[in-house]
């Protein structure tokens, strides 16, 4: 695994767990990557590739509508060079993997943690003194992979270590202690996770056609 690619089997396991966490269809092999029908208001479908390939380039030329995303384990610069000019490349993210034991932190005074397990999916919520949602996140486990998903701390509750406690609570919910722990982080998130012992294993770039930039083929 390098910043320019990710093992396809690991990528498939991650996408499978992510789909479980979000109640989405399972990933389908296509064009040298995997298609996931996300069906949201902002994204109808995404194709995720372990690395740049001709299938990605051919697919990009065949797409003419917004809300269809191409994502790849490569740098934003590399993806930009592979896409047609009318595509937009979005801010960079990073595929990260836990490395070593996660440091422990005590929950700040006045907060409480709830955990709900539903099959392979676990939901963790941290509540404030009046019961308001302060932080939340999900995990899903499959194929010896545990994926952390939608890790959010509400703005009014940041800088109190809640994200740290949320991560360690999800970590403790794993059923297989040998599962590889994965997540995708923004630049800001990367800084937090690195303090918890996580390391970047691949760059992660995303592109789409934005609204108002439709291109029609003859």
Task: Specify the pLDDT at position 149.
Answer: 97
3 state DSSP class of 113: strand
Instruction: Say how far apart CA 164 and CA 160 lie, in whole Å.
Output: 9
User: Is the pLDDT assigned to residue 4 strictly greater than 50?
Assistant: yes
pTM, two decimal places:
0.91
Partners of 140 in beta bridges = 121, 147
Task: Specify the pLDDT at position 190.
Answer: 94
Which residue bears the tokens 């890790």? 151
Mean pLDDT (whole number) for 117-138: 97
Q: Answer left, alpha or beta for residue 110, where phi above 0 means left and psi between -120 and 50 means alpha.
A: left
Task: Specify the pLDDT at position 212.
Answer: 65
Task: Specify the pLDDT at position 214.
Answer: 46
Task: Specify the pLDDT at position 102.
Answer: 84
CATH-assigned architecture of domain 98-199: 3-Layer(aba) Sandwich (3.40)
Q: Show Cβ contacts of residue 80 under 8 Å, excluding neighbours closer than 6 positions.
A: 89, 207
Instruction: Say how far apart CA 42 and CA 47 lie, in whole Å.
Output: 15
Task: Specify the pLDDT at position 94.
Answer: 97
Partners of 94 in beta bridges = 185, 203
Where are the chain's structural domains? 8-94+203-208, 98-199
- What are the tens digits of pLDDT across the range 74-127? 999 999 999 999 999 999 999 999 998 888 999 999 999 999 999 999 999 999
1 pLDDT band (50/70/90 cuts)? very low
Mean pLDDT (whole number) for 47-51: 98
**Mean pLDDT computed over every residue of the chain:** 93
User: Is the pLDDT assigned to residue 215 strictly greater than 70?
Assistant: no
Q: Show Cβ contacts of residue 203 under 8 Å, excluding neighbours closer than 6 positions.
A: 3, 4, 73, 74, 75, 76, 92, 94, 95
């Amino acid at each position: 695994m390098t910043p320019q690619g990710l093992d396809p089997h690991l990528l498939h396991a991650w996408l499978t767990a992510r789909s479980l966490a979000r109640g989405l269809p399972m990933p389908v092999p296509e064009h040298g990557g995997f298609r996931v029908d996300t069906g949201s208001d902002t994204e109808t479908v995404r194709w995720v590739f372990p690395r740049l390939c001709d299938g990605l380039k051919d697919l990009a030329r065949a797409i003419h509508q917004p809300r269809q995303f191409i994502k790849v384990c490569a740098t934003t610069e590399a993806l930009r060079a592979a896409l047609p000019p009318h595509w937009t490349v979005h801010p960079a993210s990073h595929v990260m993997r836990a490395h070593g034991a996660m440091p422990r932190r005590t929950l700040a005074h006045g907060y409480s943690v709830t955990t709900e397990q539903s099959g392979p999916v676990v939901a963790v919520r941290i509540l404030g003194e009046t019961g308001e949602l302060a932080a939340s996140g999900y995990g899903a486990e499959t194929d010896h992979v545990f994926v952390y998903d939608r890790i959010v701390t509400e703005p009014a509750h940041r800088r109190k270590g809640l994200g740290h406690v949320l991560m360690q609570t999800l970590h403790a919910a794993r059923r297989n202690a040998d599962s590889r722990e994965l997540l995708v982080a923004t630049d800001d998130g990367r800084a937090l996770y690195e303090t918890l012992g996580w390391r970047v294993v691949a760059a992660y770039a995303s592109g789409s056609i934005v609204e108002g930039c439709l291109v029609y083929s003859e």
